[in-house]
């Protein structure tokens, strides 16, 4: 494990900027202030447990030697298989919570954890922007707005099962992207694999991760053999994660790809269809063209356009058009865009695209693609006033909307 120890030592060096650069401390203070304000406005607990504690229940069941829950919990989305009740979501958040159950029991600090995940993503993005030549203040403001001017913000107030997995996946995916830019391919690929254990469609991030690493290092003069040696440890770790997830699914349901959603009552015997082309048209009407306010001037509580809810997606399209116009499009950036559009299409196949929500919750899965596209644009070394104004306006609107739409 020499390769892993080496990367861990270098990670300590990355976070060593806290001793030299106080901007991360200011970022932490800004995030804390934002969350305190939002908790006051919404009446949310900053660090408390949630009644929608599916992952804690799974971790407690593991402690008893069970792969299923001991009883039904009607208000949670539980799969029913051969007379037993199973968690129907990928298992990684329960792995995180398992050691915490020995400290907190059933009262794991779910609301705090989602905040820590989001903070980690913001700090790693800051470090990656610094590596790409951004000045510290510009990198700080930009990383803060890129993360929180989106539907991520309301999810960081509530550690319920649906949001816990998605915010953890957001952190791990943003970490994979940032660590690759910071030339830490082993940790990047490990974080990528773990993100798939939260959100399976995140598997598509493999395409831009490998494309970016290979193309950028090839331009730097590295050989394919050298790049292969550098990638091999991360690939092996990722395969170990995939094997573990597959075996967990197989032991529970006899299928390495089955997390349990197909055994939810609404899909197994109530006639619902989880993924279908028939859902795409309705989802496009709401999540591509939908406005945040309805005809009565009231806030839409079942979502609106992802381009408005997560404006970094709109910014990426603008960056893409600018790259085409200036003839500076690169293969790896094209791969990022194609993977993002493919991921978006797969999400649009879902029956609800997130259900009751502010903005477009599922679109948060796409936001790290925008980080990737930005970080793969070396000639861009600062944000511009239009980008900052757009992101700031969405942050204010999202904060206001969150006080109305409580998750």
What's the chain's Rg over C-alpha atoms? Answer: 21
List the end-to-end C-alpha distance of the chain, in Å, as a whole number: 42
The arithmetic mean of pLDDT across residues 344-355, rounded, is 90
Question: Is it the case that residue 380 has pLDDT exceeding 90?
Answer: no
- The mean of the pLDDT values for the chain is 92
Question: Is it the case that residue 271 has pLDDT exceeding 60?
Answer: no
**Please, which residues have CB within 8 angstroms of residue 165's CB and are 6 or more apart in sequence?**
55, 89, 90, 92, 93, 198, 199
pLDDT tens for 159-195 read 999 999 999 999 999 999 999 999 999 999 999 999 9
Question: Is it the case that residue 19 has pLDDT exceeding 70?
Answer: no
Secondary structure of 253-301 in the HEC alphabet?
A: HCCCCCCCHHHCHHHHCCCCCCECCHHHHHHHHHHCCCCCECCCCCECC
Return the pLDDT at 15.
Answer: 54
Return the pLDDT at 121.
Answer: 98
Contact 154/167 with Cβ under 8 angstroms? no
pLDDT tens for 27-62 read 999 999 999 999 999 999 999 999 999 999 999 999
C-alpha to C-alpha distance for 197 and 91, rounded to whole angstroms:
6
DSSP of 150-188: STHHHHTT---HHHHHHHHHHHHHHHHHHHHHTT-HHHH
pLDDT tens for 123-139 read 999 999 999 999 999 99
Structure tokens at 238: 């990722």
| Helices vs strands, H then E, count in the chain | 19, 2
Nearest one of 209, 207, 199 to 234, comparing CA atoms: 209
Contact 263/68 with Cβ under 8 angstroms? no
Share of the chain above pLDDT 70, in %: 94
The arithmetic mean of pLDDT across residues 257-273, rounded, is 76
């Amino acid at each position: 494990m020499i390769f892993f120890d080496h990367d861990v030592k270098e990670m300590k060096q990355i976070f060593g900027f806290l001793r030299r650069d106080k901007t991360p401390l200011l970022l932490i203070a800004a995030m804390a202030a934002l969350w305190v304000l939002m908790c006051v406005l919404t009446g949310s607990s900053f660090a408390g447990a949630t009644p929608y504690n599916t992952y804690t229940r799974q971790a407690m069941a593991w402690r008893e030697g069970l792969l299923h829950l001991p009883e039904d919990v009607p208000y949670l989305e539980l799969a029913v298989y051969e007379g037993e009740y199973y968690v129907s979501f990928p298992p990684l958040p329960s792995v995180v919570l398992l050691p915490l159950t020995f400290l907190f029991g059933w009262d794991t600090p779910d609301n705090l954890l989602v905040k820590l995940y989001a903070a980690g993503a913001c700090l790693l993005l800051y470090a990656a922007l610094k590596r790409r030549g951004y000045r510290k203040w510009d990198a700080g403001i930009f990383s803060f707005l890129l993360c929180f001017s989106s539907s991520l913000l309301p999810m960081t107030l509530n550690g319920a099962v649906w949001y816990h997995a998605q915010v953890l996946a957001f952190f791990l995916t943003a970490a994979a992207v940032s660590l690759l830019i910071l030339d830490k391919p082993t940790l990047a690929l490990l974080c990528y694999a773990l993100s798939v254990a939260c959100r399976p469609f995140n598997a598509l991030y493999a395409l831009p991760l490998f494309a970016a690493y290979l193309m950028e290092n090839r331009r730097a003069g590295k050989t394919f053999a050298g790049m292969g040696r550098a990638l091999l440890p991360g690939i092996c770790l990722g395969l170990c994660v995939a094997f573990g997830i597959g075996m967990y699914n197989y032991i529970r349901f006899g299928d390495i790809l089955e997390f349990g959603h197909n055994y939810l009552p609404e899909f197994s015997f109530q006639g619902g269809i989880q993924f279908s082309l028939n859902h795409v048209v309705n989802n496009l009407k709401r999540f591509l063209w939908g406005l945040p306010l309805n005809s009565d001037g009231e806030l839409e509580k079942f979502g609106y356009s992802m381009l408005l809810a997560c404006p970094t997606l709109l910014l990426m399209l603008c960056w893409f058009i600018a790259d085409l116009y200036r003839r500076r499009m690169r293969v790896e950036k094209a791969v990022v865009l194609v993977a993002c559009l493919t991921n978006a299409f797969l999400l649009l196949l879902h029956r609800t695209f997130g259900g009751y929500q502010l903005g477009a919750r599922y679109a948060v899965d796409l936001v790290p693609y925008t980080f990737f596209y930005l970080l793969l644009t070396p000639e861009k070394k600062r944000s511009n006033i239009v980008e900052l104004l757009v992101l700031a306006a969405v942050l204010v609107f999202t904060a206001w909307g969150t006080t109305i739409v409580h998750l």
